[in-house]
Structure formats: structure tokens, C-alpha cells
Amino acid sequence: MRMPKTLLVTGSSGLIGSEVSTYFARELGYTIHGIDNNQRAVFFGPQGDTRWNQQRLEKDLPGFVHHELDIRDRAKVLALIESIKPNAIVHTAAQPSHDRAAAIPFDDFDTNAVGTLNLLEAVRRSCPESAFVHMSTNKVYGDAPNRIAMKEEATRWDYADPLYFLGIPETFTIDQSKHSLFGASKVAADVMVQEYGRYFNLPTCCLRGGCLTGPNHTGVELHGFLSYLVKCNIESKEYRIFGYKGKQVRDNIHSLDVARFIAAFIATPRAGEVYNLGGGKANSVSILEAFKIAESFTGKKQISTYVEENRAGDHICYYSDLRKMKAHYPTWDITQSAQDTIKQIVDSWKKRTSNT
């Protein structure tokens, strides 16, 4: 009898971790081991608590094993991976806010950079043939995308330079720009994941995500753009816009499409790869545009205030050039539109609000 494959997911109670766990268990028959210690609640307070998602996974996924472990604990990380020897690792655990990082620089770097190194070295020692997928971020590019010539339209900023008509490619510079401390710690992790791929020939990749979203996101003001925006709308709470006239643009990708790409990479991995993982130009929205879409599904006017000063290192416009991803994995594409995704987030928040 063939044993089921084993997937280890860090940050398993978060948006991407839970989606990956569910997808690999239900669609691909993997046994899932999840690492999560609800650190999001420590970083963001009670509104960032993800225990509800952990309980959902334990209830819905047969054989799901939860490990209450901090990835900063090197000895425990080494011991766990030695005991499990998973067929693949998806690393989503992180301190995810560039605003919050400035207040907790040691926690930020130790979680994002050192925690990633702990996992990589554990994999190299115990299961070097296993694919290692790292959820990086587009913040590794810092604010360098803001140097691209822009044009202001009625509801958004967009690139005026035709070179970036389809978005930011993986060859874009990460140097000589302001990243935020979060961005810098994620750069360290990103480069280390690449190096373990190139130096040790491990099957690794960095996924430089834009706005990763979906109905299971626990959005807060400092992280989780669409989820938090919809939550504010439904609860008639004020949403604060930080600079750029509310016309700043992000590309949004549904967590299901993230999981599908991860599955494609694990099926045919490469060493030391980098991909800009986002919704692409077709699924890019500004804050003002997101207000209108959310309002169309809730029937409620978005309450907002405007702060002239933008967040440090924030992008005026960012969407991912998906051509490299599609060239390497031609069977993969976006299946969930921005409108469909926002509708799902609306439905999810309504359900969660009615249950509280």
C-alpha cells in the first residue's frame, strides 16, 4: 500500500497556509502537518487571532496534525523536520506588516529571516530532495517601483512606461530603495531561499506575492487590504486611506490560485527560482475602485477618512508581470477574478459577523 505524501505548512492557520493545507489534503491526498502558534494575535492583538482557522482545519481535514511551534525555536524546528521528513514544505509563517516591523524589529527579523534559515537548514539536513516553497513579498523591491513613470487616471495610478504595461518582472531591482524593516527582513529570507537552491541545489522557490487574499483572511488595518476594507464596510467602520489620493493600485490574487501554483511547482520543482505571484494587471484595483466593488455587494456606503502622508515605502502602483510563471508552468492561470474574490470575502465576513 502506497503511503500518502506528507506536506509541512508553516503558518497553517493563516490565509495562504490554510488554503494550501486544504487544497493539498482534498485535491491531492496529502497528509498535512501544520506549524502555527497564533503569533498573528501577538503581532496585531485579538483582531488578528487565527485560532478559528486552526479549529476549522482540525475539524475539516482528516489526519491534519497541528504543531504549536515557533519557527524561531531552532532546536524544535530541526527535530520536527527530522521526525516528519515531509515530501514538501510550504513556508508561509511570517511577521507580515511593514508598519508593525518598525515597532518590533527583533521579532520581525528573527521571525522572517532567522525562522526561514532554521527551516532551510533543517530541510537540507533531513530531506534535501523535498521542495521548499517560500512565501516572499513584493516588498523586496522596496519603493523602487515608484520611480517608474506614472500616469494619474480618474480612479487609479498606472504605469506610463510601456516597458511595464504588464507589470513588474522578476528582474526588477531590489537595491537602492526604501523597503521598510519588514521588507528588509523578507529580502534576507528571500535571498537565503535562493542561495540554498543555488549553492546546495535544493528545489526551492520564492513567491513574491502582491495582495494575497481570499474569504479566510483575518484582515487588520496593518495587513490584509481587501479583507480589512470589506470588514470596515460591513461593520460601518472608518477605513483610513494613507496618501496617494486613494488611487494606489495593487494586484489581488485569490488564495486558491496561490495554492494551485504551489502545487504546480512542487510537482515539477526547480532550484533557486523566483516568481512574482499576483493577480496581474487584470486583477489590479485601487482603494477607490475596491470601495465601489465592495459597496456593490453589500449595498452599504464605505466610510473613510484621508491621511495625506503615505505609509513609508508604500507602492503607488504595483501589479505583477505573470509571464515567467505562465512560461514555466503553462497549465496554471488565474481562475478567480478580483470581483469574485471580493464577493467571497463579503460573504465570509457576513457569516463570521453573524456567528459572533
Residue 47, pLDDT > 90, answer: no
Q: Is residue 308 part of a domain?
A: no
Please determine, for residue 109, whether its predicted confidence score (pLDDT) is greater than 70.
yes
Write out pLDDT tens, residues 10-43.
999 998 999 999 999 999 999 999 999 988 878 8
Residue 4 has pLDDT above 80, yes or no: no
Cβ neighbours of residue 311 under 8 Å, at least 6 residues apart? 98, 99, 242, 243
Domain-embedded: residue 346: no
pLDDT digit string, tens, across residues 117-152: 999 999 999 999 999 999 999 999 999 999 999 999
CA 33 from centroid of its chain's CA atoms = 19
Q: What is the mean pLDDT of the chain?
A: 94
Domain annotation covers residue 224: no
pTM, two decimal places: 0.93
pLDDT of residue 188 exceeding 90, the answer is: yes
Averaged pLDDT, 250-279: 97
Residue for grid cell 531561499: 193
CA angle 143, 149, 151 (to 5 degrees): 110
Q: Residue 356's pLDDT band (boundaries 50, 70, 90)?
A: low
Residue 292 lies in a domain: no
> What value does the mean pLDDT take over residues 70-84?
98
pLDDT of 182 higher than 90: yes
Q: Is residue 327 over pLDDT 80?
A: yes
Flag whether 234 is in a domain.
no
**CATH assignment of the domain containing 174:** 3.40.50.720
Cell of 302: 464605505
Residues 6+ apart with CB under 8 A from 286: 155, 156, 157, 246, 247, 248, 249, 250
In the chain, how many domains are there? 1
Look at residue 313 in the predicted model and tell me its pLDDT. 76
Q: Name the residue among 157, 154, 344, 343 with its Cα closest to residue 250.
A: 157
CB of 150 closer than 8 Å to CB of 159: yes
Nearest CA to 118 out of 181, 76, 85 is that of 76
Q: Say whether pLDDT at 278 is over 50.
A: yes
How many Å is the maximal CA-CA distance in the chain?
A: 63
Taking a C-beta distance cutoff of 8 angstroms, is the pair 148, 224 a contact? no
pLDDT score, position 1: 38
Q: Quick check: is 105 in a domain?
A: yes
pLDDT class for 328, splitting at 50, 70, 90? very high
- Model confidence at 222: pLDDT above 70: no
Percent of the chain with pLDDT over 70: 98
Structural domain boundaries enclosing 52: 6-148+166-215+252-281+314-336
Q: What is the pLDDT of residue 108?
A: 95
Query: Which has more confidence, 223 or 139?
Result: 139
User: How does pLDDT run across 192-218, given as a tens digit for each residue?
Assistant: 999 999 999 999 999 999 889 988 777
Q: Tell whether 349 is covered by a domain.
A: no
Say if 242 falls within a structural domain: no
pLDDT of residue 96: 83
